[in-house]
A = this chain, B = another copy of it.
Amino acid sequence: MDINDLQTFLAVAESGSFSRAAERAFITQPAISKRIAALEAELGAKLFDRVGRRIQLAPAGIALLPQARTILDGVGEAKRRIAALSRDIAGPLRLGTSYHVGLHRLPPALRQFYTAHPNVQLDLRFMDSEAACHAVEQGDLDLAVVTLPRGSNARLRREKVWEDPLEIVVAAAHPLAAARHLRLQALAEYPIILPVPGATTREIVLAALAPVRRNLRIGLETNYLELIKMLVSIGLGWSALPHTLIDGDLKVVQIEGIRIVRELGVVTHAARTLSNAASAIIEAIRATK
């Protein structure tokens, strides 16, 4: 059974004539004859009684008529829904973000997006950047707004949105806070407080500190930059933190030749089609850059 056959059936039933149905469908009358014959063969029942040179719906045709309408309605609805996908921004959107990005970079974009597109069901999940990237790769998230991973992964598409410079900081009351020109070696005497192993930010900091990597004393590790800030400010060590976290409790230490920058942005699956909602929120994020 074919959609065309059903449409033909409907046209014949409504027009009461093979010839008129043929005109309506812009095909020849023999084609109509054959389509109806094929339908009848498939269903094993006569759909029309050929009474002389006119036709009438047979019982099976009467039974089929409302069903054919239902089916064709369903087909139309399916087409309309898919066509709507290319216009409407709606439906579910699963977004993962890291604690830091979610709290300090995402809110404006989120507010704008949420008011502009109320039909999107936003499922916002906080997690660390690495877990978010993994979830995107697995198809468990539509996109992640996180610290962009280093290295390359062909399955992920990355778009840098923000540069997030990290400053080396010590407690305001720390002995090193007073020093005028500080050399890296002097810093390395004190313990460094770092994100947990595996975290991208940790990798970036360690890469920037490569000259003294051998001498670094790793003091504490935590998975949350706010905690690092707290630990540094009570004098447990030094670290590298983004501007947004630096306040009067901390002293920024400039070191010749050392510049630490991490990239924040959007990670999506390279091979999966983005929903309109996903594209729209990415656009909103770009706009608030």
Cβ–Cβ contact A82 & B43, under 8 A: yes
Q: How far is the CB of A48 from chain B (nearest CB, A)?
A: 9
Contacts of A85 in B (CB 8 A): 45, 59-60, 63
In the docked arrangement, what's the CA distance between A58 and B82, Å? 11
In the docked arrangement, what's the CA distance between A51 and B137, Å? 10
Contacts of A269 in B (CB 8 A): 51
Q: How far is the CB of A274 from chain B (nearest CB, A)?
A: 8
Copy number in this complex? 2
Size category of the A interface is 35 or more
Cβ–Cβ contact B1 & A75, under 8 A: yes
- A68 contacts the other chain (Cβ, under 8 Å)? yes
* Residue interface mask A247-289, B partner, CB < 8 A = 1: 0000000000000000000000101110110000000000000
Cβ–Cβ contact A49 & B273, under 8 A: yes
In the docked arrangement, what's the CA distance between A74 and B3, Å? 12
User: Given the interface contacts A86-B44, A271-B50, A275-B59, does A74 sit within 8 Å of B77 by beta carbon?
Assistant: no
* Residue interface mask A49-82, B partner, CB < 8 A = 1: 1111000101110011001101100110111011
Contacts of A271 in B (CB 8 A): 49-52
Which of chain B's residues has its CB closest to A51's CB? B271
- A83 contacts the other chain (Cβ, under 8 Å)? yes
In the docked arrangement, what's the CA distance between A79 and B45, Å? 10
Q: How far is the CB of A214 from chain B (nearest CB, A)?
A: 40
Q: How far is the CB of A279 from chain B (nearest CB, A)?
A: 11
Cβ–Cβ contact A79 & B43, under 8 A: yes
- A46 contacts the other chain (Cβ, under 8 Å)? yes
Cβ–Cβ contact A78 & B67, under 8 A: yes
Q: A56-B272, A58-B273, A63-B85 are in contact. List 7 more A-B contacts (CB 8 A).
A: A43-B82, A46-B273, A59-B85, A67-B74, A67-B81, A70-B74, A71-B75
12 A–B contacts, CB within 8 A, in A order = A44-B82, A44-B86, A45-B85, A51-B139, A56-B139, A58-B273, A59-B273, A59-B276, A64-B81, A64-B82, A70-B77, A71-B75
